[in-house]
A and B are shown apart, each in its own frame.
Chain A
Amino acid sequence: MSDIPSAAEVKTELLEAYPKKVRRKRELQVVVNDPAAPPEVGANSRTIPGIITQRGCAYAGCKGVVLGPTRDIVQITHGPIGCGYYSWLTRRNQTRPNELGPENYMPYAFSTDMQEQEIIFGGEKKLKAAVEEAYRIFKPRAIAICSTCPVGLIGDDVHAVAREMKEKLGINVFGFSCEGYKGVSQSAGHHIANNQFFKHVVGQSDRPVEGRYKINLLGEYNIGGDSFVIEDLFARCGFTLVATFSGNACYEDMANSQQADLNLVMCHRSINYMAQMMETKYGIPWLKINFIGAKSTASSLRKMGQYFGDPELAERVEAVIAEEEAKIAAVRAEVRGRCEGKLAMLFVGGSRAHHYQDLFADIGMKTISAGYEFAHRDDYEGRRVLPTIKVDADSRNIEELEVAADPAAYRLRKTEEEKAELAAAGLRLGDYEGMMPQMERGALVIDDINHHESEKLIARYKPAVFCAGIKEKFAVQKMGVPCKQLHNYDIGGPYAGFAGAANFYREIDRLVNTSIWKLIQPPWEAEEA
């Protein structure tokens, strides 16, 4: 490993081109890892104007990420046409309508297509008409209204419109103040989505759910069919999935999700608010799990078994793990033979840059550098730093709901003593240790990486694969390095669970061993050289 440049040296190189003010800020967001004592990351801070950032906006985090995968809520974008257009079917959330939610509006984009006259005179009238038209044509069980930038500026009250329409139409109608300028990234939109789902959807139904081990899966969005793989594992182990937020979800499941006895948190960044609020209001503990990577999937399933404490359940879990492991061991060994020791970099999301390190580890690849696009310090350093996070002006503007135990619906699932016992046995509820304790000492952790830094980083480390999103993909590949998209999976997947892991091993094998990379140079140029 001696030929790998030192992280501190590379950090200096990444930042040297910057104006002083930019460098000062970026210095806090580019850190050299120490897993035992992770240094503070200047995460969830403003994007520097003019920087070619990966980040999107609050609307994208709310409508695109959290709300989008729900199939049977008509989601009307209130604003000019663009935002609704760009979030139309571009996130690959798969869904399978069933008896509880037979409708599927996901192939539809709904917008008020706000015009200049609404910017001047207000858009509430048009919004009301749009809600009524949507109801008249589709008769959905719920309608959601998502605000775009101008809505907040001109003062349209989407929540008042929602209340009025709810009353008038007799279905659930609720609004999201997820204007794009809120917060500093998609992250603000996640929080806003969590709040409104919690206020307006969770607990709206009281349908009894059969099953002994009832769970919700939070923060899994069924990109490329990931949820389907996970659902299959749950069913075979004997867990009853009440609701997913929000992959393959329907309204009724989410409205009834307070029936679960355990919340599983997949993407901590986008959904931890929901987990916290449900614990306070309903007494449902939450557990951070990760179904990306074979080892992590096995360990997550075991933790779930441990939580419910039934030996028979634990036995079934072990049987399923053994059966699945047997199916993928050969492909993993084969791919490992070709990929072992190669370098990977991951810059994506608020959890995938962590989760996917486990998949690379499965095939012996080393994550030399990683970072999130829109995460907070707790996603890097662990929830233990929460009390020390300073709330800045951008975060303060995002509503924090006051939640209390519901006198009727609260049911304590685990007492503090039981939680302590589980913790002593290695099962820490309500905790996430973050990305950095799992990464190697000396790895470079880069928050909100930008084009300039990516380019430098690739030139210095020459990784075998760079993981990012669509905006970065072709720039990286023009440098002769394969780029794996971890937002949309390059139209691949599923990558969750064991079956998904095998897909990912094969995909990485394909990427790092693609023949064409060796043929880029024309033979006549090679002769000259």
Chain B
Amino acid sequence: MLLKHTPAEVVERSALTINPAKTCMPIGAMYASLGIHGCLPHSHGSQGCAAYHRSMLTRHVREPVMAATSSFTEGSSVFGGQANLLAAIENIFTIYDPEVIAIHTTCLSETIGDDMNQIITKAREDGKVPDGKFLLHANTPSYVGSHVTGFARMARAMVDYFSEHTKRNYDQVNVVPGWVEPSDMRELKRLVAEMNLQCVLFPDLSDVLDAPQTGRMQMYPRGGATVAQIRDAGNSVVTLGLGPTASALAVQGLDAKCKVQGHVMELPIGLRATDRFIASLRRINGGAVPDSITAERGRLVDIITDWHQYFYGKRVALVGDPDQLVALSEFLVDLDMLPMYVITGTPGKNFEERMAKVLGDRAGRAVVKQGPGADQFYLHQLIKNDRPDLLIGTTHCKYMARDEDLPLLRFGFPNIDRCGHTYFPTVGYRGAMRLLEKMLDLFLDRKDRDAPEEQFELVL
């Protein structure tokens, strides 16, 4: 047993988190920053933060994840990090020549109270920002929120720093995709284009964190939302914010600053959430849905009708980020599956209400827990008391899955032991098809493994 010290009996904990179901804000800010074209993320803190975040993101995407750090010493922790940040800005523009430096803070710089607006103003006044180059920043103290809210704050910072309203473009829609994979961002852009609309999607990690192998290292790959695009987001007719936890802040920012009407919705994972995403686009494009999308939807529904017997009644434990959990749960309910445990370490408003809404009459039979005490250790204890048929979560869940002999569908961040998530989307109808395929493979491989010889079947 890998987690042999986990007792089935749940003891209330007030202070100790064990096997967390979240990580800290700055990594989310770094991830989002990489979705700006030509951007070098910068971690204003001890260099260990940047090292940990780059390592974890790199394991997840298996791509270069470039980021700089203020490399605080004990001296800068006492006297403030201004000198380090000013030096960093000068060095970065001279040596690495990005178009943008996206600065995020850490628990260290926030605890000592570095004033980012003041330091950035000083950098500009001192001539450390070359013409045509940009700085932006987000405050991401690690002792608040989680990696998802760090992403949300950096997405918002993009709006605050760059978006401008000059002339409304009624054919252009903004998509704030939430913390999803490069593959998902690419798929979302495809869907908007299929719906015959122009799209500003930011942050955009496609063609950044899924860059092709060409034998040439590009410090700034061709992808990412350009500053010009994010500026132009202020002219769009509507902003669709996918996943309230990760995207609502940016949507609100565009509304407040540029009067772009905002619509925050659940991530388009699964059938009905994608239907709603398409419906939102229809309200802008005049109502037309191309046959290609209708056919995609039809193929998805076809798989569900063809294979329903293997989904029906399956009990599922889920752990991950709020936006993903809500959308996935709704999809599971549409498959007549039963979300049993839904756990996220990310704090924030409305999660339980959102879950209750998608669970409907199943809500009473599910344990939904968020924030302090909602960790993988707690989930494991629940599982020991009443076993699900499927576990959906991040790579860390593999220890539980092996101990309890549960099939594990890897979903969300981080996935550091399997290939595919950065290349094959799980959003939209096509993404839902991929999720179905993955779940079926898990269930049916297990059926083939566990069936007594006389019940072993050729056709399933």
Contact = CB atoms under 8 A, between A and B. Distances in A.
* Bound together: yes
A204 interface: no
Interface string B32-56: 0000000000100111110111111
Contacts of B74: 181-183, 393-394, 397
A149 interface: yes
Contact of A478 (B16, B76, B217): B217
Given A19-B90, A116-B144, A150 B111 contact: yes
B5 A56 contact: no
Contacts of B345: 81
Contacts of B65: 471, 474
Interface in A94-137: 103-105, 107-116, 118-119, 126-130, 133-134, 136-137
Interface in A378-417: 393-394, 397
A54, A108, A114 — which one has the most chain B CB atoms within 10 A of its CB? A108
Contacts of B54: 471
Contacts of B73: 46, 181, 183-184, 394
A229 interface: no
A22 B88 CA distance: 11
A160 B162 CA distance: 49
Interface in A425-473: 451-452, 455, 469-471, 473
Contact of B49 (A82, A107, A109): A82
A83 interface: yes
A330 interface: no
A376 B357 CA distance: 59
A56 B345 CA distance: 26
B106 A149 contact: yes
A80 interface: yes
A89 B396 contact: yes
Nearest to B143: A80
B95 interface: yes
Interface stretch (B23-31, B180-188, B278-286, B311-319): B23-31
A521 B17 CA distance: 49
Interface in B130-146: 141-144, 146
B92 to A, nearest CB: 4
Contacts of B66: 52, 451, 475
A393 B5 contact: no
A162 B70 CA distance: 32
A49 B75 CA distance: 13
B-side interface size class: 35 or more
Interface string A164-183: 00000000000000011111
A149 B43 CA distance: 14
B211 interface: yes
Contact of A452 (B89, B95, B215): B95
Interface stretch (A57-65, A278-286, A346-354, A494-502): A57-65
Interface in B360-390: 372, 377
A109 B77 CA distance: 27
Given A49-B71, A50-B42, A90-B55, A138 B5 contact: yes
A49 B70 contact: yes
Contacts of B96: 52, 451-452
B58 A81 contact: no
Nearest to A89: B396
B214 interface: yes
22 contacts: A46-B71, A47-B47, A51-B71, A53-B51, A55-B71, A79-B142, A81-B17, A82-B27, A82-B142, A85-B24, A103-B5, A105-B5, A107-B399, A130-B16, A137-B11, A149-B72, A149-B111, A153-B112, A180-B45, A394-B73, A471-B54, A478-B211
Interface string A286-315: 000000000000000000000000000000
Contacts of B24: 80-82, 85
Contacts of B47: 47, 53, 55-57, 180, 185
B458 interface: no
A81 B146 contact: yes
A148 interface: yes
Interface in A337-384: none
A86, A110, A138 — which one has the most chain B CB atoms within 10 A of its CB? A86
A284 B286 CA distance: 83
A154 B111 contact: yes
Contact of B396 (A54, A60, A88, A115): A88
A18 B94 contact: yes
A480 interface: yes
B87 A48 contact: yes
Given A471-B65, A478-B216, A521-B215, 10 more contacts: A17-B95, A51-B71, A52-B66, A56-B48, A57-B46, A89-B396, A111-B16, A111-B20, A470-B58, A477-B213
Given A19-B94, A86-B52, A478 B213 contact: yes
A182 B74 CA distance: 6
A76 interface: yes
Contact of B111 (A19, A47, A86, A153): A153
Contact of A50 (B64, B88, B143): B88
A88, A126, A397, A471 — which one has the most chain B CB atoms within 10 A of its CB? A471
A108 B16 contact: no
A136 B94 CA distance: 55
A404 to B, nearest CB: 28
Contacts of A393: 74-75
Contact of B58 (A138, A182, A455, A474): A474
Contact of B217 (A153, A397, A475): A475
Interface string B285-318: 0000000000000000000000000000000000
B23, B56, B89, B217 — which one has the most chain A CB atoms within 10 A of its CB? B217
Nearest to A54: B51
Q: Sorted from nearest, which 4 A-B pairs have the closest CB atoms? A: A57-B48, A82-B24, A50-B88, A50-B91
B60 to A, nearest CB: 11
A203 interface: no
Contact of B16 (A54, A76, A185, A451): A76
B205 interface: no
A326 interface: no
Nearest to B90: A19
A37 interface: no
